[in-house]
Amino acid sequence: MNALSHSSLLPNRYPQSLHRRRFSLSCSDIQNLTRVTCYSDCNKSTSQASLFLCPGSTNTRIGSRNLVSRSFYSADASTYNGLTVQSPTHAAQEKVGVLLLNLGGPETLDDVQPFLFNLFADPDIIRLPRLFRFLQQPLAKLISTLRAPKSKEAYASIGGGSPLRKITDDQALALKRALEAKGLSSNIYVGMRYWYPFTEEAIQQIKKDGITRLVVLPLYPQFSISTTGSSISVLEQTFREDAYLSRLPVSIINSWYQREGYIKSMADLIEKELESFSEPKEAMIFFSAHGVPVSYVENAGDPYRDQMEECIFLIMQELKARGISNEHTLAYQSRVGPVQWLKPYTDEVLVELGQKGVKSLLAVPVSFVSEHIETLEEIDMEYRELALESGIKNWARVPALGLTPSFIMDLADAVIEALPSAAAINAPTSTSEDMDKDPVKYFAKMFFGSILAFLLFFSPKMITAFRNHVI
């Protein structure tokens, strides 16, 4: 199957949003482009990576109770049993690349507003009706400016910037080593959606390095239109526009929350952290996932909530198999703006649990595999304080998976399993956003858009909604 044909498997409402996206950088962003991180001998003629066949690579998917979400696994490698698609001669000439996709985060406080601009300028983050698309950039400017002070405060409280780039770089290196240990030499690239090193930079490096087979691995266990979907839009757009890239065999791993290695690694972390309580059995396991607006799930066909619920089910099943049957619950955090987000909300549930007499609580961040602003600031500071104020006496938090060896090994297996299904992207397509290339039309759009955005959104309610997490 064409690995990038996944959009054809999505509900009708989804593909349009997936195909249209174009990444926009301001002029200063472009000047600031830093070099792409690549974990190999990039640009060296000696960097030829050999693809060694890995015999008996096994199906690592474990039980599932939600068949609907299965249709999203376009690059589901679990049906392959070893890399059997190539002859050894061909395999020896393969130059394998792995592209890790992530969100990115501001590295300094000065980066915060431009980072937020990139985030809110993404049509997969603020989904405007087609007619109002011209408002996207002026709105992004307005919202990022309104939100920057609160965000800066949060980033200042965790040391003045996001740890995401460093952690992702470390994960890339660990993955490279894990793949080598399994007999696969590869170049690993990091492509961030909203900050350096941008996905577009990583893709250009992949082209320069002459990669012949690529696996795309988003570092989000569950698929959401707002995360993996958005990054893949950028990738698809860039690939379709380029003769070399459009022929490059690519395999995208859309989601991997159901993999045995991931589930077991999460269960290990939870089991270990429960031991920090004097009465481990009494502690409630509190899964806190990053939220998305309800409309994503209910109108746009985002499988995120289904996948999240299935993921929690699988982790709890694994814990039960180990004799751990603590109570558990799932809530959603980090909402932004004046719309309904997935419920229940983490802050509200914490207060309710405190009122109900829950005394011990283990917070488990579940939508992301690195420490970031929402674990280090929102959970460890804001939610911890709220929980203690609400009557919860004993609080602990499970660390993000980070470099956990069993987790990295499982990612390596996922890459190896995905390789055989790599296939080229289809012919180039033209986009409705080509007018962005015309400077006159662009400035007219920005000018009138700014005025409209000002009139529509500069109301006290909107300002409060975007300045704070809670509306």
Chain residues that interact with ligand L6N33NVT, rule: CB under 6 A: 103, 105, 116, 119, 125, 147, 151, 162, 164, 220, 224, 226-227, 290, 292-293, 336, 367-368, 372-374
Residue 192 or residue 283: which is nearer to ligand L6N33NVT going by CB? 192
Shorter beta-carbon distance to ligand L6N33NVT: residue 39 or 194: 194
Give the residue at shortest CB distance from ligand L6N33NVT.
Answer: 105
Cβ proximity to ligand L6N33NVT, 227 vs 238, nearer residue: 227
Write the single-letter amino acid at 464: T
In the complex, least distance from residue 211 CB atom to ligand L6N33NVT, rounded to whole angstroms: 27
Q: Are 383 and 333 in contact (CB under 8 A)?
A: yes
Cα 442 to the center of its chain, rounded Å = 30
- Alpha-carbon distance 238 to 232, whole Å? 10
d(CA 265, CA 271): 10
Given the complex with ligand L6N33NVT, which of 38 and 373 has the nearer CB atom? 373
Q: How far apart are CA 450 and CA 298, in angstroms?
A: 30
Q: How far is the CB of 372 from ligand L6N33NVT (least distance, A)?
A: 3
Smallest distance from ligand L6N33NVT to CB 194, Å: 8
For residue 90, the minimal CB distance to ligand L6N33NVT (Å) is: 37
Nearest distance from C-beta of residue 153 to ligand L6N33NVT, angstroms: 10
CB of 17 to ligand L6N33NVT, least distance (A): 12
Nearest-approach distance from CB 265 to ligand L6N33NVT, in angstroms: 17
Please say which residue, 99 or 121, places its beta carbon nearer to ligand L6N33NVT. Answer: 121
Of 174 and 373, the one with the shorter C-beta distance to ligand L6N33NVT is 373
Q: Which is nearer to ligand L6N33NVT, 134 or 368 (CB)?
A: 368
